[in-house]
Chains A and B, each alone.
Chain A
Amino acid sequence: MGKQDIIKSLKDSLFTGLIALALFGPIVGLRTVSKGEGLFITPQWGVVFLLVGLCILGRFLININSARRTEFKIFSTLSSKFSSITEDKAKHFAITGILFAVVFPFLPFTDRYFMDVAIMILTYIMLGWGLNIVVGLAGLLDLGYVAFYAVGAYSYALIATTFGWSFWICLPLAGVFAAFFGILLGFPVLRLRGDYLAIVTLGFGEIIRIILINWYEVTNGPDGITGIPRPSFFGLPFKRSPDEGETSFHLFFNLEYSTMHRIIFLYYLILVLALITNYFTLKIRKLPVGRAWEALREDEIACKSLGVNPTNTKLTAFAIGAMFGGFAGSFFATRQAFISPESFTFIESAIIVAIVVLGGMGSQTGVVLASIFLIGITEMFRDLEQFRMIAFGGAMVLIMVFKPKGILANRKPTILMHGDKK
Chain B
Amino acid sequence: MEYFIQQLVNGITLGSIYGLIAIGYTMVYGIIGMINFAHGDIFMIGAFVALISFIIFGLTGVALPIILLLVLLIAMLFTACYGWTVEKLAYKPLRGSFRLAPLISALGMSIVLQNYVQVSQGARVKPMQPLFSGGLEFFKNSEFIVTVSYLQIFIVVLTIILMGIFTYLITKTDLGRAQRACEQDRTMTALLGINVDRTISITFIIGSSLASVAGMMFVLYYGVIDFYIGFLAGIKAFTAAVLGGIGSLPGAMLGGLLIGLIETFWAGYVSLEYKDVAAFSVLIVVLIFFPTGFLGKPDIEKV
A residues neighboring B (CB under 8 Å): 19, 22-23, 25-28, 30-34, 38-41, 141, 188-189, 191-196, 198-200, 202-204, 206-207, 210-211, 213-214, 300-302, 346-347, 350, 353-354, 357-358, 361, 386-387, 389-390, 392-397, 400-401, 404-405
Contact = CB atoms under 8 A, between A and B. Distances in A.
B233 to A, nearest CB: 13
A354 B128 CA distance: 36
Contacts of B294: none
Contacts of B157: none
Contact of B242 (A196, A211, A353, A358): A196
B235 interface: yes
A30 to B, nearest CB: 5
B127 A39 contact: yes
A210 B284 contact: no
Given A195-B35, A214-B273, A405-B97, A27 B90 contact: no
A386 B283 contact: no
Given A32-B121, A189-B287, A386-B119, A199 B35 contact: yes
A193 B273 contact: no
Given A22-B78, A189-B288, A301-B301, A400 B235 contact: no
A271 B160 CA distance: 58
B112 A23 contact: no
Given A214-B274, A354-B107, A346 B100 contact: no
B159 interface: no
B137 interface: no
B120 A393 contact: no
Contacts of A354: 104, 107-108
A390 B93 CA distance: 20
A390 B112 contact: yes
B235 A202 contact: yes
Interface string B178-204: 000000000000000000000000000
Contacts of A189: 284, 287-288
Contacts of B238: 199
Nearest to B301: A301
A194 B102 CA distance: 14
Contacts of B283: 199-200, 203
A393 B77 CA distance: 25
Interface stretch (B7-15, B48-56, B146-154, B162-170): B48-56
Main secondary structure of the interface of B (DSSP, over half): helix
A39 B288 contact: no
B267 interface: no
Nearest to B77: A22
Contacts of A214: 273-274
B49 A34 contact: no
Given A32-B55, A361-B100, A393 B127 contact: no
A351 to B, nearest CB: 9
Nearest to B99: A194
Nearest to A18: B81
B95 to A, nearest CB: 10
Interface string B27-61: 00100000100000000010011011101100000
A299 to B, nearest CB: 9
A32 B126 contact: yes
Contacts of B99: 194
B52 to A, nearest CB: 5
